[in-house]
Amino acid sequence: MHILVVEDEPKVASFLLKGLRESQYHASLAVDVFAAKQALQADDYNVIIIDVLLPDGNGMDLCRYIRKQDLFTPILMLTALNSIDNKVTGLQAGADDYLVKPFHFNELLARIEALLRRTARMQTQPQPGVLTFADLKLNTGSKVAERAGTEIILTAKEYALLELFMQHPNKTLSRDYIAERVWGIDFDTKTNFIDVYVNYLRKKIEKGFEGKLIHTNIGMGYILKERAC
């Protein structure tokens, strides 16, 4: 497995490369945004680890750039910023996971393994088709969502969340299950990013349309259903 580390702090970079290589990963280093873009053009990677603060730009902007290139390689953001807003911004930029410094290397390895498991699971998914629920349609090939014939523009994570709901209609999905399936991480009960994303999705598929579709089962999670529980 080839991992790209985008980190400019020499001690942190050395720590990451040494640990990854000792864990039998092939790890490469880019010290800034420019070097990272060159590395991505020259090779393929299984996971990309990006520090938020880089000398020639912002790691979140690099994450957005990667997603605009239609690269779906799992991205793990590293940052010293531990606020909910910063985590949500990182996830909105296209990151798959967010790890706050300082961290134990074993936690980093666990996050990488979870991202790789999720990627392997996605590669074994059935061929694309159309999922339908009530007047909602989701084309898993073109990644286009429609409700009552009107196209709904979704971010990558909103799409993944809607696809999960539509794969499990009329079933309550816990926050733990959503976090593991959509982000490939364990749900941190101290954060509310799952609720934030569900609310983003609700607004897009319900505002201006007749009838709520995503409902809250208090203390249990969320359910895609035509009527409230």
Tens of pLDDT, residue by residue, the chain (229 residues)? 899 999 999 999 999 999 999 999 999 999 999 999 999 998 999 999 999 999 999 999 999 999 888 788 999 999 887 777 777 888 888 899 989 888 999 999 999 999 998 888 766 555 458 899 999 999 988 889 999 889 999 988 899 999 999 999 999 999 888 988 888 766 565 678 889 999 999 999 998 898 899 999 988 999 999 864 4
Verify that 86 and 145 share a domain, yes or no. no
Helix, coil or strand: residue 214: strand
d(CA 194, CA 222): 10
198 located within any domain: yes
Verify that 144 and 85 share a domain, yes or no. no
Verify that 82 and 145 share a domain, yes or no. no
Helix, coil or strand: residue 58: strand
Residue type, 58: N
pTM above 0.85, yes or no: no
Please count the structural domains in the chain: 2
Verify that 53 and 151 share a domain, yes or no. no
Verify that 111 and 170 share a domain, yes or no. no
CATH (domain of 212) = 1.10.10.10
220 located within any domain: yes
d(CA 101, CA 60): 16
pLDDT of res. 8: 95
Verify that 7 and 105 share a domain, yes or no. yes
Verify that 118 and 136 share a domain, yes or no. no
20 located within any domain: yes
CATH (domain of 56) = 3.40.50.2300
44 CB burial (10 A radius; 0-12, 13-18, 19+): exposed
pLDDT of res. 187: 55
143 located within any domain: yes
208 located within any domain: yes
Per the structure, the complete domain to which residue 92 belongs is given by 2-122
Verify that 152 and 209 share a domain, yes or no. yes
| Residue range 155-177, pLDDT digits in tens | 888 999 999 999 999 999 998 88
Q: Which residues contact 86 (CB under 8 A, 6 or more apart)?
A: 52, 79
Which of 122, 156, 185 is a domain's end point?
Answer: 122
Verify that 77 and 153 share a domain, yes or no. no
229 located within any domain: no
pLDDT of res. 222: 95
| Burial profile 163-186: b = 16 or more Cβ within 10 angstroms, e = fewer | bbbbbebeebbebebbbbbbbbbe
118 located within any domain: yes
| Residue range 86-110, pLDDT digits in tens | 778 888 888 999 898 889 999 999 9
pLDDT of res. 125: 54
Verify that 12 and 113 share a domain, yes or no. yes
Verify that 23 and 116 share a domain, yes or no. yes
- Output the CA–CA distances (angstroms, integers) from residue 122 to 12, 94, 155, in the order listed: 31, 17, 18
Verify that 107 and 151 share a domain, yes or no. no
